[in-house]
Amino acid sequence: MRRFLLSATAMLLVLLLQWPGAAAAITAPELRGAKSMQDLSSDMHGRNLQQKEFLKMDLEGTDFSGSDLRGTVFNTTQLQDSNFSGADLRDVVAFSSRFDRADLSQARLDNGMLLQSKFTDATIDGADFTNAVLDLPQIKQLCARATGVNERSGLSTADSLGCG
């Protein structure tokens, strides 16, 4: 049995060496997230950051305005005072992240998974939250200050949040 396990391990190693992409597919999320940090700066304005992973990072005060962040992951990330104005955050996953005082004006957050994230005092004028999943207390908080209409989708922030 031991001989079989050694042979199987050796074969797996050979396969992984032949296909470098296979090794990347099995890396830990924190390592993939670190790869996203390679060219990260405080000015990420207008960049294509689709499907990047930012895990357990401090990105407080970063300028993401006008960036394409579709499908990006911000898990347990500090985003206080960051600028997301006009950013495309459709299909974003932001679990337990902090958007306190962030500027989300005219941002698209359609279909975002935003559970356990906080938006205290965030600017949401014209933000589109259509079909985004948020905790009920956050929805109530956001509805209390929902204003404006998203210029790209044509939906009001209040309607996109389902405010009554």
**How many C-beta atoms surround the C-beta of residue 15 within 10 A?**
11
Residues 9 and 56 reside in one and the same domain = no
Residues 45 and 16 reside in one and the same domain = no
- The larger pLDDT score, comparing residue 21 to residue 62, is at 62
Please tell me the total count of domains within the chain. 2
Residues 79 and 144 reside in one and the same domain = yes
Question: Is 13 a residue whose pLDDT tops 50?
Answer: no
Residues 80 and 114 reside in one and the same domain = yes
**Segments of 2-132 assigned E as strands:** 53-55, 73-75
- 125, 157 in Cβ contact below 8 A? yes
Host domain of residue 84:
37-164
Average pLDDT score over the chain? 86
Residues 22 and 77 reside in one and the same domain = no
Residues 21 and 41 reside in one and the same domain = no
- 70, 48 in Cβ contact below 8 A? no
DSSP-based three-state secondary structure for 111:
coil
Using alpha carbons, select from 153, 52, 53 the residue that is nearest to residue 109. Answer: 153
Q: Which two tokens stand for residue 157?
A: 């922030």
Q: Give the CATH number of the domain where residue 99 resides.
A: 2.160.20
Residues 98 and 163 reside in one and the same domain = yes
* pLDDT (average), residues 91-108: 98
- The larger pLDDT score, comparing residue 12 to residue 99, is at 99
* pLDDT (average), residues 11-39: 50
Q: Looking at residue 40, what is its pLDDT?
A: 81
Residues 118 and 77 reside in one and the same domain = yes
- 93, 70 in Cβ contact below 8 A? no
- Pairwise CA distance, residues 159 & 147, whole Å: 10
Q: Which residues are 58's β-sheet partners? A: 78
> Considering the entire predicted model, what is its pTM?
0.78
Residues 42 and 24 reside in one and the same domain = no
How sure is the predictor about 149, in pLDDT bands with cuts at 50, 70 and 90?
very high
Residues 57 and 112 reside in one and the same domain = yes
Question: Is 6 a residue whose pLDDT tops 80?
Answer: no
Using alpha carbons, select from 61, 128, 139 the residue that is nearest to residue 88. Answer: 128
* pLDDT (average), residues 19-34: 49
Question: Is 95 a residue whose pLDDT tops 50?
Answer: yes
Residues 86 and 144 reside in one and the same domain = yes
How sure is the predictor about 27, in pLDDT bands with cuts at 50, 70 and 90?
very low
